Structure 1
Amino acid sequence: MDQCAILIFAKTPYPGSVKTRLIPALGEDETTRLYTRLLTRMVDWTCNQTPFATELWVTPGRDHPLWRQLAAEYDLPLYLQQGDDLGARMGLAAKTALTRHRHVALLGVDCPALTARHIHQTFHWLENGEDAVLGPAEDGGYVLLGLNNYHKDLFEGHHWGGGDVAASTRAVLADLGWHWRELPQLWDLDRPQDLERLQLGYPEICRS
């Protein structure tokens, strides 16, 4: 059993279904290509720059050629997200993965500023007794959630996609009496105005 596992949550990159708020600026096809580059970049560094197990949790299906390619190239286990909303899907993944691993970190793919250093720090804290680690985002959400244990309240009753998810998650952690640490606040790629920041800091991701 691997002690630590990174759970990457991703959508099948069908045009018009990923990073939809960027479509007015980039168009469907380029937005899909950008999302695919973000996804493959994250899989590559989690697999090659950390010693931790990586699992790919995908929706709405597992039969896209990209999933087969990544699973084969990086020897990745591939799991289907299940649930009516993002919280339910993350909760089931966390609960399931914690039967196989002692510590897990849940990530999306749209935070280019997240690095291997943040993952190492997360698991260091979890291994040293913290119950959870939160990676807050500038927009009020979060880009990472590290856990040693599952509790349904972490994944129910939050306004997913809203600006108060980190705050409501902190409230749950406090109500549970859990001890947690927080990573530095990071930005994620959601809006057309984020594209200039991406170009300045990560031009390799912006290539067409």
Structure 2
Amino acid sequence: MRVVGLMCKAPRPGYAKTRLAASLGAARAAEYAEAFLADSAVLASALGAATAFFAPDDGGAEVARLLPPAMRLRPQVPGDLGMRMIAAFAALFAEGGPALLMGTDSPDLPPALLEEAFAALASHDAAFIPAHDGGYCAVALRAPAPSLFQNIPWSCAETLSATLAAAGGLRIHLTAPWHDIDEAEDLEKLHLAAAPFTRRVAALRG
């Protein structure tokens, strides 16, 4: 049974989408964060048995109201992003597999890319959907591979390249890249037809 995890933050002003907030203000950025989470949760739940891994620890109720009814909820463990991803994959593989972990910065991510990542695991150990900024939007694994997430520089142009360098003998598949939305100018890249919650927020004040 394939399983899916969504790494997410409670959409609080000043906590989520802080780089967007630098241009749009904390309240407006939080509106986008809420919509990104809701659209991403729909994508995740359509792929398989899905769990939202949320932060901070007291943010469960804020996240739960944005999830499809069948989606489960678990707090993220403490530590850097790599430690949190290792723990999330461990929780997912305890329930099934293969497993895919995605974030909420690409609410219009094409389902075809996510399906390609899963399909690639028939002949590869891991599959990534690269992001144009040097990171990645999602990663799928046949089995736990903690080395992919250890000693990695996160949230920078070298994130994916460092991850691939850490892959050792793992067989890696890369899909076509997609965008993630971090800065205000990135909003122009959104395919709003594929992200209905985000489309409604964008229509409010642009």
With the length of structure 2 as denominator, give the TM-score of the two structures. 0.89
Q: Render the CA deviation track for 1:34-58: whole Å, top value 9, x for unaligned.
A: 01001101112333xx351111110
8 Å contact kept, 2:40–2:103: no
Q: Which moved more, 1:92-101 or 1:8-17?
A: 92-101
Whether the aligned pair in 1 keeps the contact of 2:137 and 2:178 (CA below 8 Å) is yes
Q: Cα distance, 1:194 vs. partner?
A: 0.8
Cα distance in structure 2, aligned partners of 1:180 and 1:114 = 20
- Within a 5 Å distance, the mapping from 1:73-112 to structure 2 comes to 73-112=68-107
Name the SS for the 1:144 alignment partner: strand
> Residues 1-208 of structure 1 correspond to what in structure 2 (within 5 A)?
3-47=1-45, 50-70=46-66, 73-126=68-121, 128-173=122-167, 175=168, 177-198=169-190, 201-202=191-192, 204=199, 205-208=201-204
Distance, in Å, in 2 between the alignment partners of 1:43 and 1:169 is 25
Counterpart code for 1:10: C
SS of equivalent residue, structure 2 residue 184: coil
Letter aligned with residue 187 of structure 1: H
TM-aligned CA deviation for residue 6 of structure 1: 1.4
Contact 1:6 1:105 in 2 (8 A): yes
Contact 1:62 1:79 (C-alpha < 8 Å) held by counterparts: no
- Distance in 1 between residues matched to 2:21 and 2:59, nearest whole Å: 24
Q: Which moved more, 1:86-95 or 1:150-159?
A: 150-159
RMSD: 1.7
CA contact (8 A) 2:34 2:66 kept: no
Counterpart secondary structure, 1:45: helix
Determine the C-alpha separation between the residues in 2 that align with 1:68 and 1:137: 27
The one-letter amino acid of 1:24's match is: A
Q: Distance in 1 between matches of 2:64 and 2:109?
A: 25
Q: Encode CA deviations 1:62-95: one digit per residue, 9 max, x unaligned.
A: 5543333245x42211011003111110111112
Q: Aligned partner of 2:157: which letter?
A: G
CA–CA distance in structure 1, aligned partners of residues 186 and 126 of structure 2: 28
Gaps in structure 1 of 5+ consecutive residues = none
Is 1:62–1:78's contact at 8 Å kept on the other side of the alignment?
no
Contact 1:22 1:191 in 2 (8 A): yes
- Residue pair 1:135, 1:142 contacting (<8 A) in 2 also: yes
